[in-house]
Amino acid sequence: MPIDFDLTAEQRKTKDVAREFAREVLRPVADRADALPDPQDAFRAMRPVYEQAAALGFTSMFLPAEYGGGGASTVDFLVAIEELCAVDPGFPTVLLVNGLALMPLLRYGTDAQRERWIPRAATDVRGDFLAGWVVSERGGTANFDHPSPQAGIQLVADHDRARGEYVLHGEKHWPCNAGGWDLEGADVNLCVVRTDRRAGGKEALSAILVERGTPGVSYTVIDKMAHRTCQNVTMTFRGARVPEENLLAPGDGDLLVNRNFTWSAPIAAIAAVAVARAAYDFALKWARTYTGGGAGPIIQHQAVGHLLSEVAAKIEAGRYLCWKAAHHLDASGGEGHALGAMSKTFCGDLMQGVVFDCMRIVGVNALDRKFPMARYYRESMVFPLYDAGNLAMQRRRAWGVMADPAFSPDTFVDGDPMVFTKSMEGYGVISEIG
C-alpha cells in the first residue's frame, strides 16, 4: 500500500461540514462565552452549540457503529477536531472528554455496562448526554503508577460487600464535563479510584462509573485563563455510594489511564496544531496588508518571509505527525502509546513557538484585544499542561515503551504494534516517600 496523505471523499465532507459549523455556529457563541466572567456561565452558554454538534454527530462520531455511533476512525475524528479547534479549542474538549469517559467501556467494561451507556450516548442527536473523565487530583496525578499507597491516586473506593456497594472518599481536581450543565453532575463520570489502600499504583487502581445525582458528590467550578468554553471542576466525594456493578478494570486502572491518554494524545496534538494554524492564518493575512509605515506590505521583508515559511513548515510537520499517530492507533487496535505521546508533546511545544512567532510578525498590535492573537496566546498555554502533561505522563509513557527490548527505531516506520504492559510503567518514579 502506498503512503498516502490524501483525504477520502468522506473525510473531505467531514472537514467541510466541521469548518462550516465552526465558523457559523461555534465562533459567535464561543467569542461571547470566552468573555463571560463566570466560568460556569461560559460553559452553559455553549449548550446550544453542543446540541447542534450532537445533531451533526460530532459528539459520538468516535463510537462504534454497532452501538449507533458514527464508527469514525481516529484519523476521521482528527480531521473534524482540527477545524473546530482552529476557531475555539475549548468547546471540542467537551467532545474529547465524552470519548475519554466512554472509550474505556469498549475495552474494560462488562457487556451490561457497554449496553447501558454506549448506545445512550451514541444515539443522542439532541445533545442530552454528557460524560466526564475523572482522573486528575489536587496533589498531582503524574505518578499514578507509584509503588507506594501514599502516592498517586488518593480517591479511595472501599468495598462494602454487605451492601454490594463501593464507598468513595476523596477529591478530584480538573475533571472536565464532570459537573454537568447544572452542577448536578454529568450523566456518567468515569472515575479512576484506589480500590486497595495497601498496594501500589500498578495493582491498586480501578475505575468506577458514578452516575448523575449520586449523593455525597459535590462540584466547584475552576476559573481558568483559557479553554473557558469547557468546564473543569473540583469534585469532592464524601461517603458517596456506588453499586459494585459500576466497577470496571479492577486492578488495571493504571493500564486504563495509559490507554486513554494514548487515544486522546493525537487529538490533543491536532488541537494544538489548529491553534497554531489559526495564529498563522491571521499573521499571514496581516503581513500581506500591513506596511509598518513602509513602502509595501511587511511580507516583502526577508525577515518576515523567512519566519512565515518556518511557521508554515512546523504546522505541516505537526499535522502529519498527528495523522501518523492516529493511523497507527487505528491500525494497531489502539496500541500506539509511544507515538501518540510523541505527537502530543511535540505539537504542544511546537504550537507555543508558532503562536509567539506569529505575534512577533503582527507586532504590538497582537496585544490589542480586538484582534485574536491575545486569545491564541492564552489558549496556547493549555496544551503542554493538560491531557497528561508534556513534562509528565505523556513523555513517561513513550520512555517506557522505548526501554522495552522489543522496541526498535523501525517500530513506527514499519507500523509494528507494541502491546503496552505494566512492565513499561513506573519509569521516572522516585519510589522513596519522605
Q: How far is CA 419 from CA 62, 117, 183, 296, 424, in A?
A: 22, 27, 39, 57, 10
Q: Are residues 193 and 46 in the same domain?
A: no
Instruction: Write down the residue that cell numbers 500506539 correspond to.
Output: 336
Task: Please check whether residue 4 lies inside any domain of the structure.
Answer: no
Q: Are residues 259 and 357 in the same domain?
A: yes
Task: Please check whether residue 432 lies inside any domain of the structure.
Answer: no
- Give the domain-ending residue among 130, 158, 177: 130
DSSP state for residue 369 in the 8-state scheme: T
Alpha-carbon torsion 119, 124, 128, 131, what sign?
Answer: positive
Q: Are residues 295 and 419 in the same domain?
A: yes
pLDDT of residue 175: 97
The whole-angstrom separation of Cα 183 and Cα 410 is 48
Q: Are residues 136 and 126 in the same domain?
A: no
Q: What are phi and psi of 170, to 5 degrees?
A: 140, -160
CATH number of the domain to which 243 belongs: 2.40.110.10
Q: Are residues 260 and 240 in the same domain?
A: no
Task: Please check whether residue 351 lies inside any domain of the structure.
Answer: yes
Task: Please check whether residue 138 lies inside any domain of the structure.
Answer: yes
- Give the domain-ending residue among 229, 251, 273: 251
pLDDT of residue 184: 97
Q: What are phi and psi of 164, to 5 degrees?
A: 65, 40
Query: Domain residues for 35?
Result: 9-130
Q: From the centroid of its chain, how far is CA 416?
A: 25
CATH number of the domain to which 402 belongs: 1.20.140.10
Print pLDDT tens along the chain (434 aa): 467 889 999 999 999 999 999 999 999 999 999 999 999 999 999 999 999 999 999 999 999 999 999 999 999 999 999 999 999 999 999 999 999 999 999 999 999 999 999 999 999 999 999 999 999 999 888 899 999 999 999 999 999 999 999 999 999 999 999 999 999 999 999 999 999 999 999 999 999 999 999 999 999 999 999 999 999 999 999 999 999 999 999 999 999 999 999 999 999 999 999 999 999 999 999 999 999 999 999 999 999 999 999 999 999 999 999 999 999 999 999 999 999 999 999 999 999 999 999 999 999 999 999 999 999 999 999 999 999 888 888 999 999 999 999 999 999 999 888 999 999 999 988 776 65
- Give the domain-ending residue among 97, 130, 163: 130
Q: Are residues 151 and 113 in the same domain?
A: no
Task: Please check whether residue 408 lies inside any domain of the structure.
Answer: yes
Q: Taking the CB of residue 320, how many other CB atoms lie within 10 A of it?
A: 13
pLDDT of residue 429: 86
The whole-angstrom separation of Cα 344 and Cα 321 is 9
Name the pairing type of β-strands 188-194 and 217-221: unpaired
Q: Are residues 284 and 420 in the same domain?
A: yes
Q: Identify whether the C-beta of residue 47 lies closer than 8 Å to the C-beta of residue 127.
A: yes
Domain count along the chain: 3
Q: Are residues 68 and 42 in the same domain?
A: yes
Q: Per the confidence metrics, is the pTM higher than 0.85?
A: yes
Q: Are residues 262 and 410 in the same domain?
A: yes
Q: Are residues 269 and 416 in the same domain?
A: yes
Element (H, E) at 79: helix 74-85
Q: Which three cell numbers stand for residue 223?
A: 476559573
